[in-house]
Amino acid sequence: MTTTRYREIADELAGELVGRPAGDRVPSEHAITRRYGVGRASARAALQELERRLLVRRVRGAGTFVNRRIDYVISHRRRPSWHSTVSAGGGRPRSLVRDITEFGLPAELAGRLGRPAGTPAYRLVRQSYIDDLLAAWSHEWIPVDVVTELRLGMNAAESLDEVLRQMGRVCPVRAWCRVSLDLPPETVMQPLELDLRQPVWLVESLSRDADSGRPLMCSDTWMRADALRVVVELGSIGDTELGSIGDDRGGHTAVDEREDRA
């Protein structure tokens, strides 16, 4: 068998995947082996080639599925909300709360949130999905004075943005954001189900109340690069926003976005 045979198989399978919905099961290595009369190594190489093209996702212990990569757009005109942003990109969002802990803010986080060190706050840890495929792992810090019953709110709704609006009576807007593409720490690889040291997006963010300017929450969110492309929109001329920064070609991308409240 020639070394290009697996690419030929990948090309044919890629054509068959066009138009299929995200999450559809893709033929297994065994099925490819039988269909094309090749060995398991060649079948595996064909699926790996489809992964490299970001057309499929392998889910540990479940199989291989059609992948759809969406644009995750960060803009002053959009809510700082996972559910709202993923929905706008055409995906189906879902989040699972993995932990809610109340603690005293350390100095660094207190400085970000404009509170004294030791101020009571919640640390919310969530695992998030797009079209039922794992996409993000986030740590979010919310002072207790913003929402006193955060556990109750997150039991009733998946969207933190909606909980803040409904229970905190605030209007969250993004005040600062930094985006980078880098290798994740070991503590992030497992919850994102990454087998190798694959680059992921890291979005660090601070939200304020649109009316009072009071800091409401800050967050660190690690996002799988095979699930989405982070796009940061900056500036405007009339009603048209300008500028997109979201480089998925490798290396490191960093963007600082600050809200002018003058």
The rounded distance, in Å, linking the Cα atoms of 255 and 170 is: 26
Query: Which tens digits make up the pLDDT trace of 27-86?
Result: 989 999 999 999 999 998 998 888 888 888 888 778 888 878 899 999 988 999 999 999
Say how far residue 34 (Cα) sits from the centre of its chain.
Answer: 36
Q: What is the pTM of this model?
A: 0.79
pLDDT at position 150 over 90:
yes
| Structure tokens belonging to residue 244 | 């997109």
Half-sphere exposure of 160 (CA within 13 A, CB side): 31
How confident is the prediction for the chain on average, in pLDDT? 87
Question: Helix crossing, 40-52 with 29-36: angle to 10°?
Answer: 120
pLDDT score of 89: 93
pLDDT at position 91 over 80:
yes
Which residue ranges form the domains of the chain, and what is each CATH number?
5-66 (1.10.10.10), 70-258 (3.40.1410.10)
Q: Cβ distance 110 to 123 under 8 Å?
A: no
pLDDT at position 251 over 50:
no
